[in-house]
Amino acid sequence: MSKPSPEVYEEGKGMDAHNSVMRDIRSRNDSTYDPREPTRVWLDEDNTPDGVYQSLTIILNTGGCRWARAGGCTMCGYVAESVEGGSVAHEDLMAQIQHCLDHEAENSDETSGLIKIYTSGSFLDEREVPAETRRAIAETFADRERIVVESLPDFVDEETVGDFVDVGLETDVAVGLETATDRVRHDCVNKYFDFADFEEASEAAQAAGAGVKAYLLMKPPFLSEAEAVEDMKRSVRRCGAVDGCHTVSMNPCNVQRYTMVEELYHDGGYRPPWLWSVADVLESTADEDVIVVSDPVGHGSDRGPHNCGECDDKLQRAIKDFDLRQDPSVFEQVSCECEATWDAVIERERGYSLPLAR
């Protein structure tokens, strides 16, 4: 992509314009949510530096992402599911944790070795999750083996991360980096920080005794399919070179409600990534010295990453298999006529003709 002129970052343009549009889109949401119930909770399996664990994934319902209040990321609809009022009390957040523990007990014969905790923004932001709650959650899961907490780089420091390390948990800080390319992160995702901030957060996590997991976004708006694929390959390799970053999770973009991506999607200006693109990135970066995984949410639907509809489930299973075994040969077992269409899209699609195929 060409470099922008300084004028695009003037007031009313660039990020400021994105924020204005996002605020307008989010204002259409009139849903309300119970502060004593989490946004989501589920059981799964995850690959870690210490092997595969059963995982309990928790998305806490907080007062919402600080950045989203200014406008926020072009693809993120999680803030639309946040509790009104800007904050959730300690007692209510702990009630959400208990709800998740009850879900685990009802749906599994064993406790999960890995706990993953997210919010609509940053778990380590004390406006969303007070220090009292953070420490109580650390104590609650002190008998588990590993924990992942998600945060923007701003809130990663030795003290906050140390709350989990100090109770004996192998701790990973997950950062929503989205891409290693600053211009794509700023202009396509509308995220304000730079790759250098991710590197600093990684240093802080390491100093606390924690590891780092980078979350990348496959195909934000305004990129062609080929640009998105190449950006992900570069980003995986660049993240893998950062000390302490042992895992990269590549999230294919899906169309969430009350987002700029949804507006573009309805106007014919956005198609979620092809699953062939996901497989291509995973296969091409399998030899990097970093665990690379992907979980295509909503796969096979128009609003999620998809191919033709005939091969989506097969390729999704291959991606899940790759996540656990890191063996790129799994993709040799899936074939479909639509791969030729994907090849044509990669070759011919340009930014001014998005999307070339639905």
| Distance in angstroms (rounded) separating the CA atoms of residues 33 and 243 | 40
Per-residue confidence (pLDDT) for residue 352, from 0 to 100? 66
Q: What is the pLDDT of residues 288-315, one digit of tens each?
A: 999 999 999 999 999 999 999 999 999 9
User: Do residues 231 and 280 touch, judged by C-beta distance below 8 A?
Assistant: no
Q: Residue 124: inside a domain, yes or no?
A: yes
Which sign does the torsion angle of CA 62, 42, 32, 75 carry? positive
**Which ranges of the chain would DSSP assign to H, the alpha helix?**
14-26, 66-70, 90-107, 131-140, 158-165, 182-184, 195-207, 225-240, 260-266, 275-284, 312-325, 338-348
pTM: 0.90
Domain residues for the domain of 317 are: 13-348
Pick from 204, 136, 208: nearest CA to 117: 136
The enclosing domain of 340 has a CATH number of 3.20.20.70
State what percent of residues in the chain have pLDDT above 90: 80
Q: Residue 5: inside a domain, yes or no?
A: no
Q: Residue 355: inside a domain, yes or no?
A: no
Q: Residue 3: inside a domain, yes or no?
A: no
Per-residue confidence (pLDDT) for residue 350, from 0 to 100? 84
In the chain, how many domains are there? 1
Q: What is the pLDDT of residues 158-186, one digit of tens each?
A: 999 999 999 999 999 999 999 999 999 99
